[in-house]
Structure 1
Amino acid sequence: MGRLCLTRLTLSHFRSYRQGVVETDGRPVAIHGPNGAGKTSLLEAVSMFSPGRGLRRAGAEDLIRRPEALGWKLTVLLQSLHQMHELDTMAEPGVTRTVRIDGKVAAQAALGRVARVLWLVPSMDRLWIEGAEGRRRFLDRMTLSFTPGHADAALAYEKAMRERNRLLKDMVRDDHWYVALEAQMAEAGALIMANRRAALQQLAQATEGAATAFPAPDLALRHAEGELPEEAEDLRQALADGRRRDLQAGRTLIGPHRIDLDAHWAAKGIAAREASTGEQKALLISLILANARALAEDFGAPPVLLLDEVAAHLDADRRAALYDEVCALGAQAWMTGTGAELFAELGDRAQHLRVTDDNGESRIEEEPI
């Protein structure tokens, strides 16, 4: 099994960090400090080396340190399997964010070919009780971890759907305007659904028989309008057949953008939305760990894990079980909490960092065990 880990992270004018450097040796990284000190921003910096907008889904302008507003830059040295890579990403005011891999400008999607990053943040604790959009985003992040090209299919589908929705809102009834757009949506949509189903299959295989203290979830895809055609031609026909209804609604009512992710706690036979807060947190952790186990098999190394305030809603036994599973997996997990005592069970299996606020500037200190 190979390794995937950051060995050095450098931050410049990013969020509350004027400058910051973290040197690591591949072990998990336990980060503690008071609320507002900059712990989550440190995890967010790591998440920027995954395709997309990071764990807070912030725009590039929002990441610039104030009041200087000079632009920000992040650099990492990354061990990916048996190779070392230097990655950097940066943005200046009014300028599009750029990514470079080993000194060469690259698309964000290319980050997924050298780095796999998963995260669990407090805002996801309400995943099972809020709207379907958040669950689709969660599903697609998992899918993207296995298939970096999934992002291209999603972008192609969204672009064609926006154009189709514009025609619908303008009450355009000429079929010729729709044919090409629906063909593009059908081709991309069928690929999106195939990628999603493959990801769920890999998760199921990674969950089956796994030695874990966390509940095994049963996952299923559900379409808001009933069964969704799987083949591109069938989906194209369904879009064509639905034009009259879509014209009345002013939007597209069938497609992978209407999919929801259902989860059940298999052992208890209850839906995730009916579970307690602690049980819902345990289900999320179970999914992240299953995703990590599946990626270790698929990619050849466990992913980098970002677990923000992970100890919340976990008792001491389950917290210790989580740390044991992370270490057994061999993943570099970056974990945050308000107090050092939350990571006592890790001992010297992890590096321990303390983040403090110094008059609006975040500072990082390594702490001895």
Structure 2
Amino acid sequence: MAVLTELTLLQFRSHRRLTLALDGRPVVFFGPNGAGKTNILEAVSLLSPGRGLRRAGPDELARRDGAVGWKIRAALGAGHEVETSAQPGAAREVRIDGKPAPQVALGRLCRVLWLVPSMDRLWTEGAEGRRRFLDRMTLSFLPHHAEAVLVYEKAMRERNRLLKDMVRDPAWYAALEGQMAEAGVVISTNRATALARISAAQKGAATSFPAADMAIDGAGPKDLAGALAEGRGRDMAAGRTLLGPHRADLSAIYAEKAVPAAQCSTGEQKALLISLILANARALTDETGQAPVLLLDEVAAHLDEARRAALYDEICTLKAQAFMTGTEPELFSTLGPRAQVFAVSEDGVMQTPL
């Protein structure tokens, strides 16, 4: 893993061309809403496997005023160059040091964690968002987790197609259910490993943010292949697979108060999310010797001055390259010279002191 030393965006979202020289310190982008701050963070999120922090498709990422594709280039301090791009109507491509590479390879070079405003509702909305959050944490520790998820989801899609077509021949299902069971064991084991590492990182940590007791619910039976075979009739009636790790949920309890996260105040839920991101970063730093890249979109808006200062101190203690956004520079005043600061407007992006 390594910090970003240069980032270039070409025809990406609102940015026709943008190049930033970075030195490893936390990075602040401030400016009015709609100026393109989050777009920069989204570009960095695409240096990791997956669809990025907005889960956008390739064609959604190009500038609206052009028919050309988009490109993101990044130089990493370890001497690697990463490039990801897409042409109109085509899938996203990845190149590492000039050579084509699968997306999963990005997870071995640049591990990225993020917290965005839409995640403020993580504990109160559906389980799908919490599974994605869990899998992002897991992927940060175990890059091969993405491969297991891809195998599982591909086999499940094919099984669901058979169910919808009312296919009853067991021979059509056996191989797919075997693949799902094998990949499912890996997925469940990886998730449990990640949670154990994050829980360990919370214990005794010098932090101003509350600890969370976490658990994975509804991951499915140990004999998944047998349960899938037994449940074909029920699944056929539903038109989809009703059990397995794709149905798991992440639960959290505000440890000090013994209150489920969903029942906490909005401010407490935000604090718990920040705590988990920081614990994830601490665990990765202890394991690899290098903090992950953190993307914290509008993270300061709902924190009081003391909590903001505490967050910045923890980021700097970790020596993490955190990319943060806000509407006003005053939100980041306690960072002082510890951060690189950029003013973002419709006219462009300009480095400036706090």
TM-score (norm 2): 0.98
1:77 aligns with one of 75, 78, 81: 75
**Cross-structure match for 2:221:** 229
Aligned counterparts, 1:178-217, within 5 A: 178-217=173-212
Shift of 1:191: 0.6
Q: What is the distance in 2 between the residues matched to 1:247 and 1:55? A: 34
2:76 aligned counterpart, secondary structure = strand
Is 1:325 aligned to residue 323 of structure 2?
Answer: no
Amino acid in structure 1 at the alignment position of 2:207:
T
**Identical amino acids, percent of aligned pairs:** 65
Would the aligned equivalents of 2:343 and 2:351 in 1 still touch at CA under 8 Å?
A: yes
User: Which structure carries more relative contact order (alpha carbon 8 Å, separation 6+)?
Assistant: 1
Amino acid in structure 1 at the alignment position of 2:349:
I
Amino acid in structure 2 at the alignment position of 1:69:
A
Unaligned runs of 5+ in 2: none
Runs of 4+ in 1 over 3 A off after TM superposition: none
Is 1:365 aligned to residue 354 of structure 2?
Answer: no
TM-score (norm 1): 0.94
Amino acid in structure 1 at the alignment position of 2:270:
K
Aligned counterparts, 1:71-220, within 5 A: 71-79=69-77, 83-220=78-215
Would the aligned equivalents of 1:49 and 1:115 in 2 still touch at CA under 8 Å?
A: yes
1:176 aligned counterpart, secondary structure = helix
Aligned counterparts, 1:348-363, within 5 A: 348-358=337-347, 363=348
**Cross-structure match for 1:256:** 245
Shift of 1:192: 0.5
Q: Deviations over 1:29-65 (max 9, x none)?
A: 0110000000000111111100111111111111111
2:255 aligns with one of 245, 252, 266: 266
Shift of 1:248: 2.2
Is 1:298 aligned to residue 287 of structure 2?
Answer: yes
1:37 aligns with one of 30, 35, 38: 35
Amino acid in structure 2 at the alignment position of 1:53:
R
1:4 aligned counterpart, secondary structure = coil
Would the aligned equivalents of 1:4 and 1:331 in 2 still touch at CA under 8 Å?
A: no
Amino acid in structure 2 at the alignment position of 1:42:
I
Unaligned runs of 5+ in 1: none
1:84 aligned counterpart, secondary structure = coil
Shift of 1:165: 1.2
Q: What is the distance in 2 between the residues matched to 1:169 and 1:10? A: 45
Aligned counterparts, 1:309-348, within 5 A: 309-348=298-337
Q: What is the distance in 2 between the residues matched to 1:54 and 1:228? A: 28
Q: What is the distance in 2 between the residues matched to 1:134 and 1:274? A: 17
Shift of 1:321: 0.3
1:67 aligned counterpart, secondary structure = coil
Q: Deviations over 1:210-259 (max 9, x none)?
A: 11000000000111xxx7333xxx11111112122222222211100110
Would the aligned equivalents of 2:301 and 2:331 in 1 still touch at CA under 8 Å?
A: no
Shift of 1:69: 2.4
Q: How many corresponding residue pairs?
A: 354
Amino acid in structure 1 at the alignment position of 2:234:
R
Q: What is the distance in 2 between the residues matched to 1:299 and 1:116? A: 11
RMSD between aligned residues: 1.1
2:241 aligned counterpart, secondary structure = coil
Query: Which has the larger displacement, 273-282 or 174-183?
Result: 174-183
Amino acid in structure 2 at the alignment position of 1:312:
A
